[in-house]
Amino acid sequence: MNPTAFYALFRKDLKLFFSDKRAVLMSFAAPILIASFFGFLFSGSSKGDAAKVPAAAVDLDGSAVSKKLLAALAADKGLDLKAENLDAARERVRKGKATVAVVVPKGFGEDAARAFFRGGLKPEIGVLYDPSHTAELGMVKGLLTQHAMEVVSAEVFNGETGRVVRRDTLKELETTKDLPAGERVALKDLLGSLDRFQASQSTAKPGGTGGGGGMSMPFAMLESAVTSGDKIEYNGFAHAFAGMGVQFILFMGIEAGISILLLRQTGLWKRLRAAPLSRSTLLGSRAASAAAIALIILAVIFAFARLVFKVQVLGSFAGFAGVCLAFAFMTGAYGLLIAALGRTPEAARGLAIFVTLLMVMLGGAWIPAFVFPGWLQKATLLVPTRWAVDGLDAMTWRGLGFLDALPAILVLLGFAAVFGAVAVWKFRWQED
Partner 1 sequence: MFQAQNLKKRFGAVQAVDGVSFAIQAGETVGLLGPNGAGKTTIVSMIAGLLTPDSGEIRLEGRAIASDTDPVKRAIGFVPQDLALFEKLGGRENLALFGALYGLKGAELDRAVDMALGLVGLADRQKDAVEAYSGGMKRRLNLAAALLHDPKLLILDEPTVGVDPQSRNAIFDNLEALKQRGLTLIYTTHYMEEAERLCDRLVIVDHGRVLKDGTLQSLYAELPAANLLEVEIEGDGAPLCEGLRCVAGVASAELRAGRLAVGVDNLAMGSAAVLAWLAARGVPVLHLASERATLEAVFLNLTGRSLRDA
Which one, 26 or 272, has the nearer CB to partner 1? 272
For residue 295, the minimal CB distance to partner 1 (Å) is 22
Told to check if 25 binds partner 1 by CB under 8 A, we report no
Q: From the list 87, 174, 230, 432, which residue makes contact with partner 1 (rule: CB under 8 A)?
A: 432
For the sheet containing 126-129, what is the strand order? 79-83, 53-59, 100-104, 126-129
Indicate the residue among 2 and 312 with the shorter CB distance to partner 1: 2
Nearer to partner 1, 20 or 233 (CB): 20
In Å, the largest CA–CA distance within the chain is 108
Applying CB under 8 A, the site for partner 1 has a residue count of: 28
| Cβ within 8 Å of residue 398, ≥6 positions away | 227, 228, 314, 315, 404
Question: Is residue 98 helix, strand or coil?
Answer: coil
> Looking at beta carbons only, is 25 or 186 nearer to partner 1?
25
232 secondary structure, DSSP code = P
Q: Three-state DSSP class for 344? A: coil
> What single string gives the DSSP state of each residue in 384-395?
HHHHHHHHHHHH
DSSP string, 27-62: IIIHHHHHHHHHHHHHHGGGGT-PPPEEEEEEESS-
Q: Distance between CA 282 and CA 53 in Å, rounded?
A: 58
- When asked if residue 357 is in the footprint of partner 1 (CB under 8 A), the reply is no
Q: How far apart are CA 423 and CA 256, in angstroms?
A: 13
The window from 13-21, 94-102, 150-158, 241-249 that contacts partner 1 (CB under 8 A) reads: 13-21
* Contact of 89 with 58, CB cutoff 8 Å: yes
CA distances from 86 to 56, 60, 127, 131 (A): 9, 8, 11, 18
Give residue 127's identity as a one-letter amino acid code.
Answer: V
In the stretch 56-75, what mask flags binding to partner 1 with x, by CB under 8 A? --------------------
Stretch that binds partner 1, among 2-10, 80-88, 308-316, 397-405 (CB under 8 A): 2-10
The answer to whether residues 73 and 147 touch, using CB atoms and an 8 Å cutoff, is yes
Nearer Cβ to partner 1, position 5 or 83?
Answer: 5
CA distance 417 to 333: 7
- Which residue stretch of 10-18, 170-178, 354-362, 415-423 sits at the interface with partner 1 (rule: CB under 8 A)? 10-18
- What is the C-alpha separation between 138 and 331, in angstroms, rounded? 42
425 belongs to the binding site for partner 1 (CB under 8 A): no
**Binding of partner 1 by 19 (CB under 8 A):** yes
The contact pattern for partner 1, residues 212-251, with x = CB under 8 A and - = no contact, is ----------------------------------------
Which range, of 7-15, 59-67, 111-119, 347-355, touches partner 1 by CB under 8 A?
Answer: 7-15
CB of residue 419 vs partner 1: minimum separation in angstroms?
22
Give the Cα separation of 333 and 22 in Å (integer). Answer: 23
Select from 3-11, 47-55, 213-221, 312-320 the region that touches partner 1 (CB under 8 A): 3-11
Smallest separation, CB 429 to partner 1 (Å): 8
The residues facing 102 across adjacent strands are: 57, 127
Give the DSSP letter of residue 233.
P
Binding residues for partner 1 restricted to 257-316, rule: CB under 8 A: 265-268, 270-279
Q: Residue 224 carries which side chain, given as an amino acid letter?
A: S
7 binds partner 1 (CB under 8 A): yes
Stretch in the footprint of partner 1 (CB under 8 A) among 4-12, 101-109, 110-118, 353-361: 4-12
Report the residue number, 260 or 328, with the smaller CB distance to partner 1: 260
Q: Which is nearer to partner 1, 19 or 175 (CB)?
A: 19
d(CA 75, CA 82): 11
Name the site residues for partner 1 (rule: CB under 8 A): 2, 4-5, 7-9, 12, 15-16, 19-20, 265-268, 270-279, 430-432
